[in-house]
Chains A and B, each alone.
Chain A
């Protein structure tokens, strides 16, 4: 039931699961949705879509799939036994089927024929070639085989035509090159954790209390400890503007994930490459710059340095004095990044450009060499690998 619709949703880019489909069917069985397609629409949306950003996609698929169903459904309900048509959406047609229906004289004709036959027929039916029922070859019914047919109440598609298992690529989604979502990023960033207890002692240390109490001849001796939290320190340098505009979304996600994950997070922006100064506020980037040397003084070597940038620019911007596109830099970017790397031995560069393109961009090659090959793609896998290097 609704299998076709389910797969169409999948094709449409939504990610409904089988549990959700079963929930929907259960809800329909219990009669939550009344007699209208609107009800069914709301119910199925509530069951199958869990993100309002996906509503639109759902609407499109729904419209494509259930076109014309409403009228036909009303007409059918009028004089057909409830038992067979208990669930409105058991009737469905794919594009091919619709085409096949044309062969029989169009949708209305098919519906009329269905209604006529349903009226002629008065009991449950199995096998045979005319009556509506199961396992037959009539165009109506389930578990049968007729490309022009309508399916009523069949649990699954029985005729999965020969596609080799490996061609189906069912596990494509487990590919770790998939785009990052904030949640995924946070999970990846979790690996970069070093728990420490600092600050006010406000938690009961049960083990120590028991221990001390026992030593104290049974007199209660309560011990407190500070709460455990992530003590890792991160210095995030983000490339902004220019070619990075294509990657704004992913960088924002990365940034918001990092911000909630690390208590000690300092971030600075740069444009294309790091020079003698960075800035914190993009609107006042020319007025309020922070000298890079000040940063290295202020934040100790226990900070982990993470660059996020596509490193896509002219190689001059890295190796020559005055190479910067925005200002005159006395010393080349290469010198400045070396200074930063000296100050922070634990450093990586995350690059949102696909890894395949790295070798074709000279500036990426250069930056990679400067980073001692510690450049990783901004994907789950890349983030994982990068964080291993930071530990």
Chain B
């Protein structure tokens, strides 16, 4: 069976290196780890891969309290205890109280699914280590029922990380790796075009210019990213702001309108205002 290749979708522009990494992972049926600045479309990638390859998507969002075991299965001892009190017949079969987790679901799936393990770095430091065997062999053992759950089709596993914690080497070795770097202007133009096909050229040009200018400001706590740019353009369109307004430096409105979509914390806004002020004074 030949796999379809991932080439990006109508709503998602993938760079060559990203396509290569995804295709390698799909072909070899090994997990791929995606890192990158927040808002560069890491999570979106899984959704797009699933839709491009026509496969079902399973999402497992990781929180700081998530344990690896929860991805495999949960044994609902309390429910069983309750049933035993009520004299329910179900109680005799322990399998009735085993609740499959996301990995189990992915392994059981009749068609090869795409499994997204989102923000793996949020979990406890040992979390990735606890999944080594499961990701490697794509099988695990259920102690309660003495059964081995083995993947019918090795799922395409896409793991994202925001780099809040370093991941263990043993885990990294088992994955393909891709770092989504911040798109350059050309790619960004493509991305915006995909989302707002009817955008006026002039507005796009000015918006991108203003956007990269904001990104270039040193010392920002959180640089605006692709998703923020898209939000901002949506706002600009909604407010019907003419492109000329965006041209900074020649008017008192040096701060881009609706900047709230781009700068997300007070210090950044403050810093930006200060810089603009200094700049204006320098020019005067």
Residues of chain A at the chain B interface (Cβ within 8 Å): 15, 17, 19-20, 23, 26-27, 30, 32-33, 38-39, 42-43, 45-47, 49-52, 55, 181-183, 186-187, 204, 206, 209, 213, 218-220, 222, 260
What 3 A-B pairs are tightest by C-beta distance, nearest first?
A52-B179, A42-B20, A50-B172
Instruction: Say yes or no for B102: interface residue by CB 8 A criterion.
Output: no
Instruction: Check B166 against A183 for contact (C-beta < 8 Å).
Output: yes
Instruction: Say yes or no for B52: interface residue by CB 8 A criterion.
Output: no
Bound Cα distance from A183 to B167, whole angstroms:
8
Bound Cα distance from A257 to B105, whole angstroms:
35
Residues of chain B at the chain A interface (Cβ within 8 Å): 16-17, 20-21, 23-24, 27-28, 30, 32-33, 35, 77-78, 81-82, 85, 125, 165-169, 172-179, 181
Name the B residues within 8 Å of A23 (CB-CB). Answer: 28, 30, 176
Bound Cα distance from A239 to B86, whole angstroms:
64
Name the A residues within 8 Å of B167 (CB-CB). Answer: 183
CB of B267, distance to nearest CB on chain A (Å): 12
Name the B residues within 8 Å of A182 (CB-CB). Answer: 165-166
Point out the residue from A32, A52, A186, A218 that lies within 8 Å of B125, measured CB to CB: A186
- A204 touching B27 in the complex, CB below 8 Å, given contacts A20-B173, A186-B125, A220-B85: no
The prevalent SS among residues of A at the interface is helix
Instruction: Check B81 against A209 for contact (C-beta < 8 Å).
Output: yes
Instruction: Check A206 against B77 for contact (C-beta < 8 Å).
Output: yes
Instruction: Check B165 against A45 for contact (C-beta < 8 Å).
Output: no
Instruction: Check B85 against A219 for contact (C-beta < 8 Å).
Output: yes
Besides A46-B24, A46-B32, A52-B179, 18 new A-B residue pairs in contact (Cβ under 8 A), listed by A number: A15-B169, A23-B28, A23-B30, A33-B20, A42-B20, A43-B20, A45-B17, A46-B177, A47-B177, A49-B177, A50-B172, A50-B175, A52-B35, A181-B166, A183-B168, A186-B125, A204-B78, A220-B82
Point out the residue from B28, B78, B172, B175 that lies within 8 Å of A26, measured CB to CB: B28
- A32 touching B24 in the complex, CB below 8 Å, given contacts A182-B166, A183-B165: yes
Point out the residue from A42, A186, A209, A260 that lies within 8 Å of B21, measured CB to CB: A42
Name the B residues within 8 Å of A50 (CB-CB). Answer: 33, 169, 172-173, 175, 177
Instruction: Check B176 against A47 for contact (C-beta < 8 Å).
Output: yes
Q: List 16 A-B contacts (CB under 8 A).
A: A19-B173, A19-B174, A23-B28, A23-B30, A26-B28, A27-B27, A33-B20, A42-B20, A47-B176, A49-B177, A50-B175, A183-B165, A187-B125, A209-B81, A220-B82, A260-B165
**Inter-chain residue pair count (beta carbon < 8 A):** 78
Instruction: Check A38 against B16 for contact (C-beta < 8 Å).
Output: yes
Point out the residue from B20, B28, B176 that lies within 8 Å of A39, measured CB to CB: B20
CB of A227, distance to nearest CB on chain B (Å): 9
Bound Cα distance from A226 to B85, whole angstroms:
25
Name the B residues within 8 Å of A204 (CB-CB). Answer: 77-78
Point out the residue from A32, A49, A183 that lies within 8 Å of B27, measured CB to CB: A32
Point out the residue from A19, A27, A45, A187 that lies within 8 Å of B28, measured CB to CB: A27
Bound Cα distance from A15 to B173, whole angstroms:
10
Instruction: Check B125 against A183 for contact (C-beta < 8 Å).
Output: yes
- A32 touching B20 in the complex, CB below 8 Å, given contacts A26-B28, A222-B78: yes
Name the B residues within 8 Å of A213 (CB-CB). Answer: 81
Name the B residues within 8 Å of A260 (CB-CB). Answer: 165
Who on chain B is nearest to A47 by CB? B176
Bound Cα distance from A52 to B167, whole angstroms:
13
Instruction: Check A55 against B166 for contact (C-beta < 8 Å).
Output: no
Instruction: Check A46 against B17 for contact (C-beta < 8 Å).
Output: yes
Who on chain B is nearest to A184 by CB? B166
Instruction: Check B176 against A46 for contact (C-beta < 8 Å).
Output: yes
Instruction: Check A47 against B35 for contact (C-beta < 8 Å).
Output: no
Name the A residues within 8 Å of B27 (CB-CB). Answer: 27, 30, 32
CB of B6, distance to nearest CB on chain A (Å): 11
CB of B186, distance to nearest CB on chain A (Å): 17
Bound Cα distance from A19 to B171, whole angstroms:
12
Residue from A15, A43, A46, A219 having most chain B Cβ neighbours under 10 A: A46
Name the A residues within 8 Å of B17 (CB-CB). Answer: 42, 45-46
Point out the residue from B20, B81, B169, B175 that lies within 8 Å of A220, measured CB to CB: B81
Bound Cα distance from A49 to B21, whole angstroms:
12
Name the A residues within 8 Å of B166 (CB-CB). Answer: 181-183
Bound Cα distance from A20 to B173, whole angstroms:
6
Who on chain A is nearest to B175 by CB? A50
Bound Cα distance from A30 to B30, whole angstroms:
13
Instruction: Check A42 against B16 for contact (C-beta < 8 Å).
Output: yes
Name the B residues within 8 Å of A49 (CB-CB). Answer: 177
Name the B residues within 8 Å of A19 (CB-CB). Answer: 173-174
Who on chain A is nearest to B21 by CB? A46
Name the B residues within 8 Å of A181 (CB-CB). Answer: 166
Bound Cα distance from A26 to B23, whole angstroms:
13
Residue from B27, B172, B175, B177 having most chain A Cβ neighbours under 10 A: B177
Name the B residues within 8 Å of A20 (CB-CB). Answer: 173
Name the A residues within 8 Å of B23 (CB-CB). Answer: 32
Bound Cα distance from A209 to B253, whole angstroms:
67
Bound Cα distance from A19 to B176, whole angstroms:
12
Name the B residues within 8 Å of A209 (CB-CB). Answer: 81
Bound Cα distance from A209 to B167, whole angstroms:
37
Who on chain B is nearest to A260 by CB? B165
Bound Cα distance from A47 to B33, whole angstroms:
11
Point out the residue from B85, B125, B179 that lies within 8 Å of A55, measured CB to CB: B179
Instruction: Check B81 against A47 for contact (C-beta < 8 Å).
Output: no
Name the A residues within 8 Å of B178 (CB-CB). Answer: 46
CB of B15, distance to nearest CB on chain A (Å): 9
Bound Cα distance from A220 to B28, whole angstroms:
50
Bound Cα distance from A183 to B27, whole angstroms:
31
Name the B residues within 8 Å of A46 (CB-CB). Answer: 17, 20-21, 24, 32, 176-178
Bound Cα distance from A124 to B77, whole angstroms:
64
